[in-house]
Amino acid sequence: MTSREPALSRRHLLAGSAGVIAAASVPSYAAARGVPGQLRDRLALTDGVQSGEVTSRSAVLWARSSGEGRLVARIGTGRRSRVVRGPWATPDSDHTARLELQGLTPGRDYDATLWFESADGTRGEVDLLRFRTADTRPRPTSFVWTGDTAGQGWGINPDLGGMTAYAAMHATRPDFFVHAGDTVYSDGPIAPTVTEPDGQVWRNEVRFGVEKVAESLREFRGRHRYNLSDRHVRRFYADTPVLAQWDDHETVNNWWPGEVIDDERYTERRVDVLAARARRAWHEYQPVSLDTRRGRGRTGFAESRIYRKAERGHHLDVFCLDMRTFKGENTPNLERRRTPVLGREQAEWLVREVRRSRATWKVISADLPLGLVVPDGTDQEGVANGDPGRPLGREHELAAVLRGLRGVPGVLWITADVHYCAAHHYSPERASFTDFDPFWEIVAGPVNAGTFGPSSLDATFGPRQVFARAADYPNQSPRGGNQFFGHVDIERDGLLTVSLRNTAGQVLWSRELAPR
């Protein structure tokens, strides 16, 4: 960043910027309702600030207010800046709001000062957000990923300093963060204390929304606010853009659309009802773009799409999947017919967009692992089924995707979900289904949840476990240090180094991958 660089002109920020233009034209919320709008107290930023969906030319800014107010941001690079007024935060959105910016300059560091403005124009509490846009030139870039936050009753422990794994990720200074699912555990109550197997007492901070399973929209929202109350999470999000996915625990364990759960903890047992509330809360609390195109999945969901591509400059495109919304019923997963986990539309989108990508690396972030067997009682939750033969059930869909990606260079799969870390190499030489190119799948997580594993691998697509680090015993608490995240570093020439690390920041495994 030098004085010679153009610093966020009006053309850069507003030209072609549907998100910002729309936000800037929103009328006063109080005026629209005919309310005088005099707020006695300055509006506070209750849950920190976030950025997300940051590409070479766009970004989403997020914050939550203590009351009704309009989100305002001063955006700048270097000495020049511009104030942009966004939408109103109202009770309908739980006082969350986001600004969608377009026309940013690639490869630039941006400062964004955020606050909420009351109806009478009073400026509220101010906080600073930093992010860097992706570079369209061949420049180095890096990111981290993990999943599974505050699961199995292991919440924010003040005795240990809170969710310290987020501080370990922050210390690597990544350009962005992929949260690969289970961003919250709506189905896992958090008690004030938990006695560990060795007799130590784990002490949790407890706030509204975590003391029971989430059923109401208010309770689902409380789950997200709980995680954002951790100081390490807030510091990380304040200068690390997020690409967020969802999986099952945002709603309930191992769910599929149309399911009616048999769980006495719930008074509302229709998963479609719970998932609609969970999805709304997830969208309100994640810095994601709003896609108003209605999907073709089952009814009961918000008008938005979770699967998407994030363009991250010359060397990198990230494809975030949604393996929950279109997923079929959990069965033994041995059907001869194609059964969904991505759904046909998403599977075709993935093949089409990866093939179109001109980036050196195409990273596919899946919220379920590909070859690990993940049982759900006597049924199967994941893609794999434990049968080493030809593809059956959900494996048909994966086979179609892998076949469609043949000949595409630089494909890397990342995931979380299983609460341990591993590196898997897939090759047709070891597989029953052979119509695909070799690839790597790297598994990370959890970030603040119980540790498990390892799981068995299904041989259909020829996976080989090259590395794994799992729990010392099932549901080991974060105190044991077996919490994991992945790190990707791409050099100027496109050389990619992927590593798995623990909460101390120690590199447990790494591999260099050369671009083709």
What is the per-residue burial (b if ≥16 Cβ within 10 Å, else e) of 39-61? Answer: beebbbbbbbbbbbbbbbbbbbb
pLDDT in tens, 73-127: 999 987 788 999 999 999 999 999 999 999 999 999 999 999 999 999 999 999 9
For the sheet with 421-426, list strands across it: 308-311, 316-320, 361-366, 411-415, 439-443, 421-426, 463-469
Q: How many CB atoms lie within 10 A of CB 3?
A: 8
* Band of residue 39 on the pLDDT scale cut at 50, 70, 90: very low
* Band of residue 291 on the pLDDT scale cut at 50, 70, 90: low
Share of the chain above pLDDT 70, in %: 89
- Please answer whether residues 360 and 490 qualify as being in contact, where contact means their C-beta atoms are separated by less than 8 angstroms: yes
DSSP string, 383-396: S--S--SS--TTHH
> In the chain, where does the domain assigned CATH 2.60.40.380 lie?
10-132
- The tokens for 255 are 């769910």
- Superfamily for domain range 141-513: Alkaline phosphatase D (PhoD) (3.60.21.70)
- 36-40, 479-483, 497-501: which range is least confident on average? 36-40
Q: Which of 104, 34, 35, 99 is nearest to 70 (CA)?
A: 99
Q: Which of 168, 313, 308 is nearest to 243 (CA)?
A: 308
The CATH code for residues 10-132 is: 2.60.40.380
Report the pLDDT value the prediction gives residue 30, as an integer from 0 to 100: 43
Question: Helix 217-228 to helix 271-285 angle, to the nearest 10 degrees?
Answer: 40
Can you tell me the mean pLDDT for 446-456? 96
For the sheet with 176-179, list strands across it: 96-101, 59-65, 45-52, 242-244, 176-179, 141-146, 484-490, 496-502, 507-513
pLDDT surpassing 60 at residue 23: no
pTM, rounded to two decimals = 0.90
pLDDT surpassing 70 at residue 28: no
pLDDT in tens, 206-240: 999 999 999 999 999 999 999 999 999 999 999 99
Q: Which of 420, 421, 418 is nearest to 510 (CA)?
A: 421
pLDDT surpassing 80 at residue 6: no
* Residue for token pair 């059930």: 393
Report the pLDDT value the prediction gives residue 280, as an integer from 0 to 100: 95
Report the pLDDT value the prediction gives residue 80, as an integer from 0 to 100: 85
Q: What residues have CB less than 8 Å from 370, skipping those under 6 apart? A: 383, 384, 398, 413, 415, 424, 426, 441, 461, 463
Q: What are the φ/ψ torsions at residue 285 (nearest 5 degrees)?
A: -105, 0
Q: Tell me how far CA of residue 301 lies from CA of 115, 268, 319, 476, in angstroms.
A: 30, 16, 21, 34
What is the per-residue burial (b if ≥16 Cβ within 10 Å, else e) of 325-334? Answer: bbbbebbebe
> In the chain, where does the domain assigned CATH 3.60.21.70 lie?
141-513
- The tokens for 396 are 């048909």
What is the residue-averaged pLDDT of the chain? 90
Q: How many CB atoms lie within 10 A of CB 294?
A: 12
User: One-letter amino acid identity for 481?
Assistant: G
pLDDT in tens, 183-207: 999 999 999 999 999 999 999 999 9
* DSSP at 283: H
